[in-house]
Homo-oligomer: A and B are copies of this chain.
Amino acid sequence: MPNYLIGIDGGGTSCRAAVAAGDGRILGRGKAGAANILTDPETALANIAGAARAAFEEAGLDPAGITQARALVGVAGHNVGDAVHYVKRRLPFAAADIESDGLIALQGALGDEDGAVAILGTGSIYILRRGDTISYVGGWGFTIGDHGSGARIGHALLQESLLAFDGIHEASPVTDSVMAEFKNDPSNVVDFARLAKPGEFGRYAPRVFEAAQAGDPVAVRLLKTAAVTVDEALDVVVARGGRKLCLLGGLAPLYRPWLAERHQPLFVEAEADALTGAVALAAQRFGSRKEVGA
């Protein structure tokens, strides 16, 4: 029985898997539903197994073979102690490590090189690798962190729309569009915001980028403020030795022109995606081709 490897990229909306030969060469891919180990570990376990079996099938292998394979599972919310242990013990593989979705994204983006990724989506976080050392900057979630994230930008837009309604700040086409959406009644904005999850605030972020592109003064101001928070975090990453910076996440392509001139020469394109990164880490840890370190 060959030593098959599995990489898993588990997310809140879907879970992707790849099966690889012992040297890390990908043989097949598969997909299943959400894998949120914190909020629903049983479903996460079922979808991780389902995606892995689908990858074996696509590779022309017997899906039952997943139980002999070794896996690297990347998941959001990996640093939540009990949930990780619970899921790790129940994974249907011969051996498995669980890592953060950020780490597999970094591995995919930079390969074995040193550098950092800025993940700019609904949330925001920065991950730096220097040799064997991984360090995290920022994150901490919407309530008290995730500066510059889509959720924070969307929240700021709603807030500015109420300030414009009250005449405290200037109105603009983008704040007018928000108030119109809420029937020009601030109470409707308040009711929405009180119950909104980060992703619901984040849905307003692309509108801010679009409006800024069109010259909307409020959108430009909000994005300049958000970009400063990203540049400040990148400064920390650079000060810690990051020489290659890779922007990832849904907002990455939108953000780049807003970031400081001093960071532009450091930006690199991602080599590969997070799933490829998970497979690469699986190959390093369990594969026939052992890494010799950085």
Contacts and interface: CB of A to CB of B under 8 A. Distances in A.
Nearest to A232: B168
Interface residues of A, number: 27
A147 to B, nearest CB: 8
A180 interface: no
B166 A137 contact: yes
From DSSP, what is the main secondary structure of chain A's interface residues? helix
B166 A236 contact: yes
A189 interface: yes
A169 interface: yes
A159 interface: yes
A94 interface: no
Interface in A154-191: 155, 158-159, 162-163, 166-169, 186, 189-190
Interface in A128-163: 137-138, 140-141, 143-145, 147, 155, 158-159, 162-163
B168 A140 contact: no
A87 interface: no
Interface of A: 137-138, 140-141, 143-145, 147, 155, 158-159, 162-163, 166-169, 186, 189-190, 193-194, 232-233, 235-236, 239
Given A140-B190, A166-B233, 10 more contacts: A137-B168, A140-B189, A143-B190, A143-B193, A143-B194, A144-B194, A145-B162, A167-B236, A168-B235, A168-B236
6 contacts: A137-B167, A137-B168, A138-B168, A140-B186, A143-B190, A167-B239
